[in-house]
A and B are shown apart, each in its own frame.
Chain A
Amino acid sequence: MKRYFFTLALALVALVASAQIKKPALMVIPSDVWCISNGYYTEIDNMGTTMKVPNYKQALQENMGLKLAIAKLNDLMAERQFPLQSLEQTIKNLEQQRMEDNLTMSKAGNELAESPLDEVARVAKCDIILELSWELKDFGPKHSLSYVLEGRDAYTSKTIGAASGTGAPSFTADVDVLLEEAIVANMDNFNNRLLDHFTEMQTIGREVSLDIKVFANNAAGVDLETEFGDDELIDIINDWLQKNTVQGRFTMPYASENVANFTQVRIPVYDERGRAIDANGFAKGLAKMLKKEPYNIPSKVLVKGLGRAVIILGEK
């Protein structure tokens, strides 16, 4: 009798544990505007156009206010049982991975098309990016601090919520004091938006987008209109998405013989083994299905950040 009781108790504990999902990971980064206006950027040449790319490492090494703001936000989020991921540690890991990627890229002959923000998000495996910016304004002898904290879904880059405002003018010129005041005053409103986002994510899954393309003159001789039995390949892909998205939620704004775009694809937050799924992992599931009988279609899955994946059909 006792044995049955314990087995039943264990089964119940396991059921409760499996019903829960892992906490999303959050990370604070300074916004592009803040980095560029404070001189923390690198200029790169992008096919003839000069672009300013934020230099997070330099900002962390040279700006004490940024370190203080991140520490304060971490303190407030830890109080709500959401400790933040460290940007500093992520940058170190990123540098390590860049070295490894450089070697891999030269072998494969491809390039990873990712922005610095995408790279940071991917390496940190964070779900939500908190973009922070502030600016001190002078009103005669008084100073006031304008503050913006914007939460972005690292998967879709969509804004989850923002807290912003300008503090009361004060004779205090200490930016750190005004910044701390602004963070403390605005955090509850920001957390309310975050709670709304978590509730939505727990109900209808994580949002990603997926593009399907076809290699021109591919060896497998397929395109999205190739027929398998009574169905075209695009219908087979649609059926797979219907089965594997949460509540069958996705939209297909464009489809042709060679290209299909799927947006607002709601994927489960974690797979059956409890591992986090991103757009890349989800796309690989589809690629695996297409590789099997009766389709036998080889494909290549490209990484485009956490929330976007591209599958190119026809060749590996």
Chain B
Amino acid sequence: MKKIFFTLLAAALCMPMMAVGLRQKKADKDTNEFRYEIECAGNAIQGTYLVKVWSYSKKAAIAENQCRKNAVHGVIFKGYGGGQGCVSQRPLANNPGAEAQNQEYFKSFFANGGEFQKYASIMEGTTETVKVGKEYKIGVVVSVRKDDLRKALEAAGIIRGLSSGF
């Protein structure tokens, strides 16, 4: 009887953790499938891009956390449009197959607590939350250190540097 009680208790305690894990997995899947929006958030200081990223999740906290990952992902693979004084930017990876060709590298790069964190910081007080159906759409302004990010990708051989071949 005791055994069954403890098993049920452990399961009940684990359930929320598993749910968070599943939601995180879903958020990562959304990132890989480009299910986020990225737009210019203004002119940034030299060496950085200032972008606004909209991410989706049933849990507001997860969506907010995912915004940093999505901002770096967007700068590398998606680029963003301009307008209203903003200049549109092409993705750092010119080759459309770069992500698939370097799967292992990007798996660890975008893992939770991975290297991507070094290149993005959330601008405090910029979070916007919109409830869309059953999930949240969270918009956050993120500053991406694109020069450092580009150098890291060049060093890893993912993208070509301007002076490569010379």
Contacts and interface: CB of A to CB of B under 8 A. Distances in A.
Interface in B85-107: 85-90, 94
Contact of A23 (B84, B147, B163): B163
Contacts of A185: 43, 86-87
B5 interface: no
A74 to B, nearest CB: 13
A192 B90 CA distance: 8
A276 B43 CA distance: 40
B6 interface: no
A275 to B, nearest CB: 15
Contacts of B165: 20-21, 198-199, 202
A166 B87 CA distance: 9
Contacts of A167: 43, 85
Nearest to A203: B165
A110 B126 CA distance: 69
A185 to B, nearest CB: 4
Interface residues of B, number: 20
Interface stretch (A44-52, A78-86, A298-306): A78-86
A168 B84 contact: yes
Contacts of B43: 167-168, 181, 184-185
A188 B85 contact: no
Contact of B147 (A79, A166, A192, A198): A79
A181 B43 CA distance: 7
Contacts of B147: 79
Interface string A175-212: 00000010011101101101100110010000000000
A165 B82 contact: yes
Contacts of A191: 162
Sorted from nearest, which 5 A-B pairs have the closest CB atoms? A168-B85, A81-B163, A23-B166, A185-B87, A80-B162
Interface of B: 43, 45-46, 82, 84-90, 94, 146-147, 160-163, 165-166
27 contacts: A21-B166, A23-B163, A24-B166, A76-B46, A80-B161, A80-B163, A81-B161, A81-B162, A81-B163, A82-B162, A165-B87, A166-B85, A167-B85, A168-B84, A184-B46, A188-B89, A188-B146, A189-B90, A191-B162, A192-B94, A194-B162, A195-B160, A195-B162, A198-B162, A198-B165, A198-B166, A199-B165
Given A184-B43, A189-B90, 10 more contacts: A82-B162, A166-B85, A167-B43, A168-B85, A169-B85, A181-B43, A189-B88, A189-B89, A192-B94, A195-B162
